[in-house]
Structures are given as C-alpha cells and as structure tokens.
C-alpha cells in the first residue's frame, strides 16, 4: 500500500511537471530601472548602483562580488506600514510576518481603460462589478491592479509619464483606496506603476490616499510589478520576498506567482 505524497512533495512534482507555473512578476533591477521623482524640495530616492569589490582580479583572484546602493523603494518593491506617516508606529519591513509573504491574489484588469486615459481611476463600483463575475476578493490576499503599465518600464520618461502638471498614471480613487484599506479583506495592493498611488495622487484628499489609508491600516504595497497578464483573475498564489531590513520602510523584492495550468 502506497502512502499518499505529502502536500509539499506534490507541489514539487507539479512544479517539475509544469502543471504549476512560476511567473516572475519582478522588474530586473539595474541602473536604468525607473525611479520616482519628487518635487526638488524633497529628498530623492537613489537609482540602483553596483560597486565592484573584486572580479577575478588582484582584489580577489577567484571570486566576483559587489556592493550595491539602492533606495528601499527602487524597482519592484514592498511597502511596509511605517513607510507613511499614518503608519509610523506600525510594522517595519523586517517585522512583516513571514506567513503574510505567501498569499493568493486577485487580478483586476483595466488595461483598456488605462490605454484610453492614463489618469484612469478605479472606483469601488469597478471592484464590486469584478466580484460579481469572479467572486469576493481573497481574504488575506492581494488585490493586483493590471493596467499594462509594465510595457513602459524600459523608459524613465514613459514610465513616469509626467508633464508640467505632474505624472499621469492610473490607480485607485481616494474612496476606493479607503475601501481597500479599511473594508476589503486583502492585505495589500499591487500595481505595475512606480508607486501604489495614481500619478495625480498628490492632489487628492488626502494626498496619496493609497499610501495614507493602506499604511495607516497596517496593510502593504507592491509596486512596479510585471507580467500580470500571465496571471488568471483568481487562483494564483504570490510569494513576495523583501529583504528584512531592520527599521526599514520597504525593500526591493523578488515577487513570484504560482499559477496552476491545466
């Protein structure tokens, strides 16, 4: 009599067989990775930089390694609650419970709307309509906003899409941001844009409502995601791996999705 394989053994078998696909949602991190730009009176985040320590040379004949410099919120990254003043007394990125780094995801697709209007805002009614067709948002999971914006990640200018009035990128309306933070069952919001807020978020009330409401509610953000087009509307499981930086407000992260394929 053969014993049933363990759940973990079954998972490994499915990964090897391809019946569970691993989709990388992470933007490659380099000096050309787009970074957010704030008005000049504020501090600015650093672009990613590598500083060679040795590369099979007289500084280290058999090994290659680097120091790197990066902002916590550069590239695909994880926002912890203490990133915003509303969550200043809440968790840093090192304190995020490990079990919360593996969670289901709902993917809401607004690529057509964002293509027509880069300032497109998702309202609560949009989410309700999605739930009517796909079921409720996952309890303890992620809400991912697909807008097609990852196609612009090759260019700082195209990605930020800014003019004299500021950046123009899609996101949530203030009321939807409040609802996601305070009433929905998800643990956080994931987006393809440079930050969780819409480009016009600086002019909303409150300013940057996704940051204000989500962080203040102890929820999280994932930004600059890629390849959301490869995920189903429901059913994927996301593994988000930020560095556990003590007292850090966030971290670049490798974000993977497990997708069951028939």
For each of the chain's 262 residues, which pLDDT tens digit applies?
Answer: 566 779 999 999 999 999 999 999 999 999 999 999 999 999 999 999 999 999 999 999 999 999 999 999 999 999 999 999 999 999 999 999 999 999 999 999 999 999 999 999 999 999 999 999 999 999 999 999 999 999 999 999 999 999 999 999 999 999 999 999 999 999 999 999 999 999 999 999 999 999 999 999 999 999 999 999 999 999 999 999 999 999 999 999 999 999 999 7
Long-range contacts of 204-210 (CB under 8 A, 24+ apart): 204/174, 205/174, 206/174, 208/84, 209/172, 209/173, 209/174, 209/177, 209/178, 210/171, 210/172, 210/177, 210/180, 210/181
Q: Give pLDDT, residue 5.
A: 73
Is residue 83 annotated as part of the catalytic site, yes or no? yes
Task: Give the separation between CA 169 and CA 167, rounded to whole angstroms.
Answer: 6
pLDDT of residue 2: 61
Dist. CA 123–CA 120, nearest whole Å: 10
> What confidence score (pLDDT) does residue 262 get?
79
Name the catalytic one among 2, 73, 77, 83: 83
Query: Hey, what are 155's tokens?
Result: 């260019």
Q: Which residues 6+ apart lie within 8 Å of 92 measured at CB?
A: 80, 82, 245, 246, 247, 248, 249
Whether the model pTM is above 0.75: yes
CA-based R_g, the chain, Å: 19
């Amino acid at each position: 009599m053969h014993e049933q394989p363990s759940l973990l053994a079954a998972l490994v078998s499915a990964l090897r067989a391809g019946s569970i696909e691993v989709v990388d949602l992470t933007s490659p991190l380099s000096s050309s990775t787009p970074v957010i730009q704030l008005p000049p009176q504020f501090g600015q985040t650093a672009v990613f930089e590598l500083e060679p320590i040795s590369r099979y040379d007289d500084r280290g004949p058999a090994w290659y390694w680097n120091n790197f410099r990066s902002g916590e919120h550069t590239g695909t990254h994880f926002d912890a609650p203490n990133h915003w003043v509303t969550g200043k007394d809440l968790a840093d990125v090192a304190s995020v419970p490990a079990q919360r780094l593996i969670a289901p995801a709902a993917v809401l697709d607004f690529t057509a709307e964002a293509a027509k209007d880069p300032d497109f805002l998702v309202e609560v009614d949009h989410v309700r309509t999605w739930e009517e067709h796909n079921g409720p948002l996952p309890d303890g999971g992620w809400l991912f906003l697909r807008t097609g914006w990852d196609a612009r990640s090759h260019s700082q200018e195209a990605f930020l899409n800014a003019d004299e009035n500021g950046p123009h990128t899609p996101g949530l309306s203030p009321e939807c941001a409040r609802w996601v933070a305070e009433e929905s069952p998800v643990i956080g919001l994931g987006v393809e844009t440079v930050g969780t807020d819409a480009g016009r978020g600086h002019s909303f009330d409150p300013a940057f409502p996704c940051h204000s409401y989500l962080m203040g509610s102890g929820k999280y953000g994932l930004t600059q995601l890629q390849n959301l087009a490869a995920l189903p509307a429901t059913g994927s499981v996301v593994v988000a791996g930020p560095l556990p930086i003590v007292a850090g407000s966030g971290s670049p992260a490798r974000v993977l999705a497990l997708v069951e394929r028939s």
